[in-house]
């Protein structure tokens, strides 16, 4: 999972003062890779989430990789929130890989899930 490891490395490099760090990587159908981190705002909003920011430049059929990393470098649960899940479905992302725990990841086959 090269791109999931990339997302974890990008998250760890984030300068946020939060206890966890999150980054998202999108691989578009044309092979272009888009990288994003959670933005640092005082008031959390879904538009600040790494997934939402990364998929802005994705195309239908892209694959999303999301990594949440603790300050000591351990993977943690990064399954996208309900708002980001809706954005992912609406954008036409085909698959999402997300960290669960150290060296564990989950896969969400988006196209198999019906839109609400």
How does pLDDT run across 31-84, given as a tens digit for each residue? 999 999 987 666 667 778 999 999 999 999 999 999 999 988 899 999 999 999
- Residue 108 pairs in a beta bridge with 96
Provide the H-helix boundaries in the chain. 2-12, 50-55, 82-91
Answer yes or no: are the C-beta atoms of 88 and 72 closer than 8 Å.
no
List C-alpha distances in Å: 94 to 1, 26, 97, 107.
17, 11, 10, 11
Q: pLDDT tens across 61-72, in order? A: 999 999 999 988
Q: Which residue range is the domain that position 63 belongs to?
A: 2-68+85-111
Answer yes or no: pTM beyond 0.85: yes
CATH code of the domain in which 7 resides: 3.40.140.10
Q: Alpha-carbon dihedral of residues 27, 32, 37, 43, nearest 10 degrees?
A: -90
Is residue 73 assigned to a domain?
A: no
Is residue 76 assigned to a domain?
A: no
Is residue 79 assigned to a domain?
A: no
d(C-alpha 22, C-alpha 7), whole Å: 8
Chain centroid to Cα 25, Å, comes to 6
Domain count, the chain: 1
Is residue 64 assigned to a domain?
A: yes
Confidence band, pLDDT 50/70/90 cuts, at residue 114: low
């Amino acid at each position: 999972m090269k791109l999931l490891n990339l997302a974890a490395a990008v998250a760890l490099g984030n300068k946020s003062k939060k206890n966890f760090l999150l980054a998202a990587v999108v691989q578009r159908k044309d092979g272009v890779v888009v990288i994003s981190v959670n933005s640092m705002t005082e008031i959390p909003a879904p538009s600040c989430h790494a997934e939402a920011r990364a998929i802005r430049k994705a195309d239908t059929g892209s694959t999303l990789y999301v990594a949440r990393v603790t300050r000591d470098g351990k993977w943690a649960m990064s399954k996208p929130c309900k708002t980001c899940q809706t954005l992912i479905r609406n954008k036409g992302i085909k698959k999402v890989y997300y960290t669960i725990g150290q060296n564990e990841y989950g896969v969400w086959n988006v196209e198999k899930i019906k839109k609400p």
